[in-house]
Amino acid sequence: MFLGKRFLKEMKEAFEIICKNPAGFQIRYDHCRIYFTKVFPYGIHYQYFADKNEIHIKAIFHTARNPQIWEQRKF
């Protein structure tokens, strides 16, 4: 399997896991939760709004990136 297809497959699996149990991951900062993928070193940063049953993906961030870059992002 090509690397790109493996990445997309892992992202799809990660989104399915988050959708099945959105409150199952620890809140890390500013009401954001992070799910870390298993094969590729990425964290999916998201917020879960239980009252509306909505998930908002804030970023998919490589774990080797400087965390200060994250602080500079604006939503």
What's the gap between Cα 32 and its chain centre? 9
Closest CA to 31 of 18, 15, 43, 48: 48
Q: What are phi and psi of 71, to 5 degrees?
A: -65, -25
Number of domains in the chain: 1
Interior angle at CA 61, CA 47 and CA 21, nearest 5 = 35
**For the whole model, what pTM was predicted?**
0.84
- Tell me which residue range forms the domain holding 14: 3-72
**pLDDT (tens place) for every residue of the chain, 75 residues total:** 699 999 999 999 999 999 999 999 999 988 999 999 999 999 999 999 999 999 999 989 898 887 677 666 655
